[in-house]
A and B are shown apart, each in its own frame.
Chain A
Amino acid sequence: MKIYFKSLGMHLKSELEYRVNFILSFLSQILVFFTYYFIIIALFSKFNNIKGFTMYEVLLCFAIIQFGFSSNEVFARGIDHFDKLIIRGDFDRLLLRPKNIILQVLCSDSDFVKSCRLLQAIIVLIIAIIKLNIKWNLMKVITLLLMLLSSCVIFFGIFLVAASYCFYTIQGLEVRNVFTDGGKHMAQYPIGVFSKGFVLFFTFIIPYAFVNYYPLLYFLGKNDSIIYGFSPLIVIVYLIPCIIIFYLGMKRYTSVGS
């Protein structure tokens, strides 16, 4: 873990080498991502709810997914851009180091410019929570934290599976964007607003529903079952096959020419 934070620090150090570039990208990212939130606000100026979810409820959901996605972009960039690691041949280098491979991939890259998304997600999250008048209790705090955690975990898992595919083709896979970006856009709204097929898919195949639908129902007081509150934990189980798939892929690694 010490190594991870140390390399994170070094990435920051090397990004700060290009100071002007860093500031400009940071600002432009902020502008781009506020448009996402404006879309939701615009939508709700026409309709005052979607299938019973109000604007702040949707924003909360949105912020949680953005939080998970962008923390992966900042802290697990190496998995997100795994194809580059393989194509450039840098993966060979990682295999020569006496440390866990997934940890090293995490150490290999990070993108601090994206931390502005993270910041935005947190701001929106706070605004939404204040406006929602939640009846707080300990369990709700736990549920909220679990939702944030599982949001990070689920994207990590999906990135990991997408990365495994690189072992077979030495190429990034656009299909994976259906599950990451596409999934992200779907999951930004409470899954329940979609038709039943989608709900089943995002419950059992990629468990987005456990990140921001079932726990959300509990959090908002729409369902009182405590099981719903703890449901994000299922996502952690989902991570296990993702890791196994990654290691199976690694056995097939063929490297690139010198």
Chain B
Amino acid sequence: MSFIEVRQISKTFRVAKKKSGLKEAFRSFVKREYLNIKAVDDISFSIEKGEIVGYIGPNGAGKSTTIKILSGILNPDSGSCKIAGMTPWKERVKYVKKIGVVFGQKSQLWWDIPAEDTFDLLRDIYEIPEEEYRTTKKDLIEKLNLQDIINIPVRQLSLGQRMRCEIAASLLHNPEILFLDEPTIGLDAVSKQLVRDFIKKLNKEKHTTIILTTHDMSDITTLAKRIILIGKGKVLYDGSLKKLKDKYETETYISVKTKDTLNFKKKGIISKKKNKDGYELVINNKLISISELLTFLSHKISIEDIEIEQEPIDKMIVRLYEDYQI
């Protein structure tokens, strides 16, 4: 039995069907048609203690719904889920003491007062022993670099500062599982880096199991070894990021600086574009390897400079979504 066991969970939402226009608004006021939308459709997976799992999928795929079910906010229509031996939506009070949740788009801090006051309130809510609270807080302040911002009303903080406080607030009670729903949304490069490093360290030091949803693929590459891809409410891929990369990362971008002209065709070169310094080539790794291409090129033309770039992971994901038609 794994630490987190999810078996065939489904959840359907009933949404009122509405057309645009005032007339239609009146009509739907009187008689409403409903659409059933399967937000989560027969999802199963299991996660071991101490794993970091990236949960990805396009907007509306059912990521947040899954997180809400796993964290006990929503009751699924069917299926079972055991996390640390408990069913989240049945043993809510006992269960939520073991988890921490960060919603990137929703704040849990009190808007008009300093974050530290929220922390104190959370201590009472979670009934954290004074001693433990003090050490955890000190530790979090140090690691997330909060010394200077913890006493400023939250509304005056920048997004990055606030997110660091949010993460600290979710970890005060030392949860065993941390759910992160788009934790780096809207953050600048420095804050992103800080948040990622912190998550990594947390996982390493405290063996916190982390489930992370994001649209930022560099979050996934730096943090998660395993990803679960969902689309239209179904699990499409569950496995290592590396395998997925091997399967999908087939294109390499090469820009060649040269004064000569390239006048040839070769199998494996997908596209060729001339710019003012030379050429930009896209090759298919499966048909031609980079070294093959380089030997080929150096025989034909004199190369002044060359730049090789792997396909950006974002683009890979786009193709992945296209492949699965989601």
Q: How large is the interface on B (under 10, 10 to 19, 20 to 34, 35 or more residues)?
A: 20 to 34
Q: Which of A1-60 contact B (CB under 8 A)?
A: 2-3, 6-7, 10, 13-15, 17-18
Contact for A6 among B64, B97, B121, CB less than 8 A: B121
* A92-B103 CB under 8 A given contacts A3-B125, A17-B113: yes
Binary contact readout A70-94 vs B (1 if CB under 8 angstroms, 0 otherwise) = 0000000000000000000110110
Contact for B13 among A7, A15, A254, CB less than 8 A: A254
Instruction: Confirm or deny: A255 has a beta carbon within 8 angstroms of a beta carbon on chain B.
Output: yes
A14 touches B105 (CB 8 A): no
What separation, in Å, do the CA atoms of A12 and B72 have in the docked complex?
31
Q: Which of A95-103, A211-219, A236-244 contacts B (4 or more CB under 8 A)?
A: A95-103
CB distance from B240 to the nearest CB of A (A): 27
CB distance from B3 to the nearest CB of A (A): 19
The B contact surface, by secondary structure, is: mixed
CB distance from B31 to the nearest CB of A (A): 16
Instruction: Confirm or deny: A135 has a beta carbon within 8 angstroms of a beta carbon on chain B.
Output: no
A13 touches B68 (CB 8 A): no
A95 touches B103 (CB 8 A): no
A3 touches B124 (CB 8 A): yes
Interface residues of A (CB under 8 A from B): 2-3, 6-7, 10, 13-15, 17-18, 89-90, 92-93, 95-100, 251, 253-255, 257-258
Instruction: Confirm or deny: B131 has a beta carbon within 8 angstroms of a beta carbon on chain A.
Output: no
Chain A residues lying within 8 Å of B112, measured Cβ to Cβ, are: 13-15, 17-18
What separation, in Å, do the CA atoms of A251 and B108 have in the docked complex?
23
B106 touches A257 (CB 8 A): no
What separation, in Å, do the CA atoms of A6 and B73 have in the docked complex?
25
Instruction: Confirm or deny: B111 has a beta carbon within 8 angstroms of a beta carbon on chain A.
Output: yes
Task: Write the chain B residue with the least CB distance to A90.
Answer: B106
CB distance from A222 to the nearest CB of B (A): 48
Chain A residues lying within 8 Å of B108, measured Cβ to Cβ, are: 93
B106 touches A97 (CB 8 A): no
Q: Which of B176-213 contact A (CB under 8 A)?
A: 181-182
What separation, in Å, do the CA atoms of A255 and B72 have in the docked complex?
12
* A98-B124 CB under 8 A given contacts A10-B117, A255-B74: no
What separation, in Å, do the CA atoms of A95 and B112 have in the docked complex?
22
Instruction: Confirm or deny: B110 has a beta carbon within 8 angstroms of a beta carbon on chain A.
Output: yes
Chain B residues lying within 8 Å of A14, measured Cβ to Cβ, are: 110-113
What separation, in Å, do the CA atoms of A99 and B63 have in the docked complex?
26
Chain B residues lying within 8 Å of A257, measured Cβ to Cβ, are: 64
Can you offer 26 A-B residue contacts whose CB atoms are under 8 A?
Answer: A2-B124, A3-B125, A10-B113, A10-B121, A13-B113, A14-B111, A14-B113, A15-B112, A17-B112, A89-B106, A92-B73, A93-B106, A93-B108, A95-B72, A96-B71, A96-B96, A96-B99, A97-B125, A98-B93, A98-B125, A99-B125, A100-B93, A251-B75, A255-B68, A258-B64, A258-B106
